[in-house]
Amino acid sequence: MQKPNFQTLAIFSLGLITGICIRFSFTILLAMLLATVSIFIYTMQDAEELKKNQDKYFLIISSLLYLVAVLLSIYLTAALILFVSYEFFQKRNFKTIIFRLLPFIIITLLSLIMQHN
């Protein structure tokens, strides 16, 4: 597996700092930890030597962890910014970015709608 590059470490650190600065409570720290692991697993999709369809498993696990984090704390919807920034650091085309981010966008929108009601 490929070593994490600078963008991965920067986004991982930014997510950790953002989560700690929001508010200090056990639930939010747990949610922040889950979101940070989700971001880390999301960046592992780009590792070399992945077997067939293994990147899809990383995407599914990452989106499930993000869902749990958002259910624990609505503040973690801000982590979507980290996913988007990572994709733009990788300089992919727009269609690929949307396809990879679609589960996270849907989770964020649904959680914001549920929180509003």
38-79 pLDDT, tens per residue?
888 888 777 666 666 777 888 889 999 999 988 888 877 788
Question: Bigger pLDDT: 82 or 10?
Answer: 82
pLDDT band at 85 (very low <50, low <70, confident <90, very high): confident
Would you say residue 18 has pLDDT above 70?
no
Three-state SS string over the chain comes to CCCCCHHHHHHHHHHHHHHHHHCCCHHHHHHHHHHHHHHHHHHHHHCCCCCCCHHHHHHHHHHHHHHHHHHHCHHHHHHHHHHHHHHHHHCCCHHHHHHHHHHHHHHHHHHHHHHHC
* Residue 38: predicted pLDDT: 87
Question: Bigger pLDDT: 36 or 17?
Answer: 36
Query: pTM for the full model?
Result: 0.75
User: pLDDT > 70: what percent of the chain?
Assistant: 73
Q: Where are the domains of the chain?
A: 6-116
